Structure formats: structure tokens, C-alpha cells
Structure 1
Amino acid sequence: MSKILRCPTCRNIVLASNEDLPFCSDRCRRIDLGKWASGDYKISSPIQDPDLLEELARSTKHSRQNDDDGN
């Protein structure tokens, strides 16, 4: 038995053979893309990569120094 797939935008049933999978239509795909582009969707899990955290800390520190210098 296969799992029933639902469009993440409108919740209609989507067939596995649908070319717009996981969406039911191009319209729903575009609505979803618009939500990402407008900032409605956010990735809320914390950053776990220590190298990325270090890089962010350096760039934040650099930005604050520039702000303090009047740049």
C-alpha cells in the first residue's frame, strides 16, 4: 500500500506520477516559492556547524567595529 501524498500548499491529494510533485499544480508550486521569497517560511533550527558559528561571530564583530567607527 502506498502512502497518500498531499500538496503542501492546498492539501489536495497528489499522485506520484504528477510532474509538479510534491505539489498538485504549478500554481501551488509558485505560491510556495512566493512564501519562501517573502520570508513567510524560516528555518528555525539552531546552527550546529562550529566553523559556520565562528565565521558568523567574526563577521558580527567586524560589523560592530565598523558601526563604532562610523562606517
Structure 2
Amino acid sequence: MQSTAVKSRKVACPGCGETTEYSTANPFRPFCSERCKLMDLGDWATEKFRIPDATPPDLYEPE
């Protein structure tokens, strides 16, 4: 007979580093809380985090 128990996986919250459960039981995963999730979103919104563009700046069309 197979076991239906699911192992819980623990990860470090990207916001604060606290260990949190990474499962569907945690609606904020991979974050530990709504606060950490919103702080991360705010960092993206204020461009603290950026994804680099591989296009050299001289190839952009002038406005």
C-alpha cells in the first residue's frame, strides 16, 4: 500500500530569510507572509529589481 502523505518542503523566504513551508497550504509561497510578498512587489514596482536588456543602447530608435 502506498503512502499518501506529502512531505512538507521548507524554504527560506526571499524577503526576510525566515524558514517557511512551500506548499499549497501557504498562500504567500515562496514568501512567509503577505507583508514579505508585498514588499517584494514594491521593489519591482520602484525598479529596485530590474531585468537587464541585452540590446546595446545605440540600437534603440530615437524618439
Query: Which interval holds the TM-score relative to the shorter structure?
Result: 0.5 to 0.7
Structure number with the bigger relative contact order (C-alpha 8 A, sep ≥ 6) is 2
Cross-structure match for 2:46: 38
Question: Please, what TM-score do these two structures have when normalized by structure 1?
Answer: 0.59
Q: Report the structure number with the largest CA radius of gyration.
A: 1
Uncovered stretches (5+) of structure 1, i.e. residues with no partner = 48-52, 64-71
TM-score w.r.t. the length of structure 2 is 0.65
Q: Which runs of 5+ in 2 are unaligned?
A: 1-6
Identity %: 35
Give the ranges of 4+ consecutive aligned residues of structure 1 lying more than 3 Å apart after TM superposition. Answer: 1-4
Which has the larger share of helix?
1
Pairwise mapping of residues 6-17 of structure 1 onto structure 2 (< 5 A)? 6-17=12-23
How many equivalent pairs are there? Answer: 53
